[in-house]
Amino acid sequence: MNCNASHDAAEHIRQAGEHLHQAARTWSDHLIAPDVRAHLRSAARSVLQAGIAALDAREAKAPPAEPPAEPPAEPPAAEPAAAQPA
C-alpha cells in the first residue's frame, strides 16, 4: 500500500469516527431530556471533584517520598582466559 492510499484510508476512518460521534450525540439528544443531561453532567463533575479531593487528601497524609536508592555497583569484569596451546 502506498503512502497516499494509507493517508486516504486514515482520512476515511477519521471521517467515519466523526460521523459516528455526531450520530451518537444526535441519538442521545433525542433519547435523553436536556434536564437529565444537565443532572448527569453535574453528577459526573461532582464525582470527579470528589476523586481529586480524595487524591489530594491522600497525598497530604502520605509520608515524604524517599529518594531512590543507588543502584548496586557492577562487579568487576572478569579477565579473559589465557590462550592455551593446542
- Percentage of residues in the chain with pLDDT exceeding 90? 38
Number of domains within the chain: 1
SS (H, E, C) 30-85: HHCCHHHHHHHHHHHHHHHHHHHHHHHHHHHHCCCCCCCCCCCCCCCCCCCCCCCC
Task: Specify if 51 maps to a domain.
Answer: yes
pLDDT surpasses 90 at 19:
yes
Question: pTM of the full predicted structure?
Answer: 0.43
pLDDT value, residue 79: 66
Residue 40 domain boundaries = 33-59
Residue 9 falls inside a structural domain? no
At 83, the pLDDT band (50, 70, 90 cuts) reads: low
Q: Is the pLDDT of residue 39 over 70?
A: yes
Q: Which residue has the higher pLDDT, 64 or 36?
A: 36
Residue 53 within a domain: yes
| Average pLDDT of the segment spanning 69-80 | 71
Q: Is residue 40 part of a domain?
A: yes
